[in-house]
Chains A and B, each alone.
Chain A
């Protein structure tokens, strides 16, 4: 490690993002955990959408308003947007080196948060409106 920045490994180095901040494993693990959870959940979604065909609004609401589809949809939305936020973060960190990087990181995380809330809220309103 003799070639690294003088501040690397120190408290200042961590503040500057030089090297490990000791928290990387959590994000890495969470991305894999959500990936495993998404295997059955996304396959359920694809199978359901195939079975529904091109549903009109009434039949889509009738399907999503049932307890199990509503539960699985909300579960999927929460997990998929956690997975998406972590995945986009890795892509941005690897390919964007300009000042846009921090804006993209913040924007993608907030967008994932907002989209998740919007989807959950829509599902809940359908589930409780029946």
Chain B
């Protein structure tokens, strides 16, 4: 991806001007995902960031829950009613799945950071495993929760 390739202007001895931080060649940015044909590797890459944001929403919800428990019975009651409503439960299932997918995806990334599992076959195998694992973990968590509701 070549951008802004052209003859350099100014003489070699020019000192950079404080008021003109414009670059002759724009600094590199993230890959332009619209140019990519979707494939497991690229989809799981962006999905790991989307699930990170959904997990952030979940952890903010945890703080709201903790504060409600600490300060106010009516607030806690309203939150509890919202969380156990059909919409609330659906959102919780989505957040659980997002969290497990981020967990499994991040385990892949930790192995890659240790330069393990970089062969294409291993990358695809671990990608499908992360996807299947997060579905199984989500199903297991909610089945257990349903079984243990008393």
Interface on A for B, CB 8 Å cutoff? Answer: 3, 5-7, 12, 16, 18, 32, 35-36, 39, 42, 45-46, 49-51, 53-54, 56-57, 60-61, 64, 73, 77, 80-81, 84, 87-88, 91, 94-95, 97, 115, 118-119, 121-123, 125-126
Question: Is B63 touching A122 in the complex (CB atoms < 8 A)?
Answer: yes
Question: Is B145 touching A35 in the complex (CB atoms < 8 A)?
Answer: no
Question: Is A50 touching B52 in the complex (CB atoms < 8 A)?
Answer: no
Within 47-78 of B, Cβ neighbours of A (below 8 Å) are at: 49, 52-53, 56, 59-60, 62-63, 66-67, 69-71, 73, 76-77
Q: Beyond the given A57-B69, A97-B29, A118-B67, could you list 4 further A-B residue pairs with CB under 8 A, ordered by the A residue number? A: A39-B107, A49-B145, A122-B63, A122-B66
Given contacts A5-B16, A7-B16, A80-B59, contact A54 B84 (CB under 8 A): yes
Q: What's the A-B contact tally at a CB cutoff of 8 Å?
A: 92
- Pick from B16, B24, B29, B70: contact of A12, CB below 8 A: B16
- CB neighbours (8 Å) of A49 from chain B are 145
Question: Is B30 touching A122 in the complex (CB atoms < 8 A)?
Answer: no
Interface of B, secondary structure class, is: helix
Q: Tell me how far the C-beta of A98 lies from the nearest C-beta in chain B, rounded to whole angstroms.
A: 12
Given contacts A46-B141, A91-B49, contact A53 B148 (CB under 8 A): yes
**A87→B59 CA distance, assembly (Å):** 14
A-B contact pairs, 7 of them (CB 8 A): A5-B16, A32-B110, A46-B96, A46-B141, A95-B30, A119-B67, A125-B71
The contact string, 1 if C-beta is below 8 Å from chain A, for chain B 81-124, is 00110000000000010010001001101100100000000000
Question: Is A39 touching B16 in the complex (CB atoms < 8 A)?
Answer: no
Given contacts A50-B144, A80-B59, A125-B70, contact A91 B53 (CB under 8 A): yes
